[in-house]
Amino acid sequence: MYRTLAEIHSALGKGETVENITRYFLKKAEASSHLNCFLELFTDSALKKAKQVDANYRAGKAGKLAGMVIAIKDNIVYKGHKVSASSRILEGFESIYSATVVERLLAEDAVIIGRTNCDEFAMGSSNENSAFGPVKNPINEKMVPGGSSGGSAVAVAAGLCTASLGSDTGGSIRQPASFTGIIGMKPTYGRISRYGLIAYASSFDQIGPFTNNIEDMALLCEVIAGKDEFDSTVLQQDSVSFLPKTDPQKKYKIAYISDCLERDGIDPEIKAGTIRVIEQLKSLGHTLTAVNFPYLDQMVPTYYVLTTAEASSNLGRFDGVHFGYQSPNAVGVEETYTKSRSEGFGEEVKRRIMLGTFVLSHGYYDAYFTKGQKVRRVIQNKTNDILKSCDFILSPTTPCTAFEIGSAGVDPIRMYLQDIFTVQAPLAGIPAISLPLGQHSNGLPYGIQLMAKHFDEGNLLAFSDYMMKQFGK
């Protein structure tokens, strides 16, 4: 119920109220607390907003998102509400301003229901790194939901809200979308303001939505995109409509990276399912071309060299002095810094800070960070070259379906390799979407990923809409 905005508007047209719809979601979220996807429900502010939306609706002044109930990842700030990036280091912290995306959602009469659990500081691919415990996949509660935006994905997949926002640095929206059977999109870097997003790696991070259909995805992107004086990296143009204008007669040129399908480690059923989609698209008259991408093995190392370096810099502000957690055992300034950070950060965050500090250190900066930036440019150029002659690049979203909670945590490298197909888009800065088009014999879903040219979200969403209508369950 209420899986899409269209369903909500239909209910409102029959006399239902946004307040009742919000109460429905709040009650359902409370009953699903065992999934651990919400860290906090914003009951009071959500109901207050719902009453305002009802008044606007009666007055004929309702916004584009009137009645849409949305959850936000716990690294997106909301004035007067707590935010922690799922870390002890931000214990008790309450934001004094709202992220640009939050302001824009509220301006169009969306109701923000709560903040969702995530991997600490968005560092992880399973949502097991949260200081507040792992999130469970609602399809099979023994399995991870993916990360880092696992809580936001589960909130949508379990029907606890209509849509949600996550952030994607190396696959943190698309991978959990694949694992939970919903749609997740990482827009072009610079399409959506990062103002109010707690930074992990600033040249990679991008906010994006989770939804159950393409229409809601397009509308949400339209609302939250656009120029912002508070973010100099965002495209300084007004937002445009992304609502899909699908032409069923149009034939597309689509590349698929043959190296992705020939790799060791990819689940045979996911490989077969991806090939099946490729053949079906060919039979529908589209041109599918196999291309080589010789840098597949360099993408994950390049990503982790650069993102850990940026994390080392960004997370320096969490010091136990200015705000958040401060160790009660510290004596003096130096101990305050070392003990607060040692006790406040989790193991994975500390690992990445240390890796990044090493990468940036004297004597290693050129060998790692500078070289990583050069390799990033090579990857970006090769990706752009492919997209000069093709409309989209198609691949599996992930090499496997959701894995069991606790099964990969002992080996960080195995966890990092979950990003093998998703890191290309953020390295190149292009948009990418995961579509829930696959069903494994183990009962779990998997996604098909599409990547497009810079700022080509309109065509990407139009073709995604076509794909969902052709192959969606």
Is 250 known to be catalytic? no
Q: What is the 3-state secondary structure (H, E, C) of 380-417?
A: HHHHHHHHHHCCEEEEECCCCCCCECCCCCCCHHHHHH
Helix (H, G, I), strand (E, B) or coil at 303: helix
What is d(CA 50, CA 310) in angstroms, rounded to the nearest whole number?
39
Residue 172 contacts residue 149 (beta carbons within 8 Å): yes
Active-site residue identified among 73, 136, 186, 453: 73
> 306 and 374 in contact (C-beta within 8 Å)?
no
Q: Can you tell me the distance from the alpha carbon of 193 to that of 211, in angstroms, rounded to the nearest whole number? A: 19
CA–CA dist 306, 197 (Å, integer):
19
The count of residues in the chain is 473
On whether the CB atoms of residues 66 and 21 are closer than 8 A, the answer is no
Tell me the C-alpha distance between 469 and 473, whole Å: 9
Strand partners of residue 432? 186, 451
Contact 423, 375 (CB under 8 A): no
Instruction: State how far the alpha carbon of 7 is from the alpha carbons of 153, 212, 313, 352, in Å.
Output: 20, 12, 44, 43
Active-site annotation holds for 73: yes
Q: Give dist(CA 38, CA 130) in Å, integer.
A: 12
Which DSSP symbol is given to 202? T
**Strand ordering across the sheet containing 183-186:** 38-41, 111-116, 69-73, 163-168, 206-211, 183-186, 432-439, 445-451, 392-396, 253-257, 287-291
Angle at 207 between CA 19 and CA 2, to 5 degrees: 30
* Helix or strand holding residue 113 (H, E): strand 111-116
248: left (phi over 0), alpha (psi -120 to 50) or beta: alpha
- Please identify which of the residues 172, 193, 395, 464 carries the catalytic annotation: 172
Which residue in 87, 98, 126, 148 is the catalytic one? 148
Give me the DSSP letters along 54-109: HHHHHTT---TTTT-EEEEETTB--TTSB--TT-GGGTT-B-SS--HHHHHHHHTT
Report the DSSP beta bridge partners of residue 28: none
- Tell me if the bond preceding 86 is cis, omega within 30° of 0: no
Active site residue 172: yes
Per the DSSP assignment, residues forming a β-bridge with 172 are none
Catalytically annotated residues: 73, 148, 172
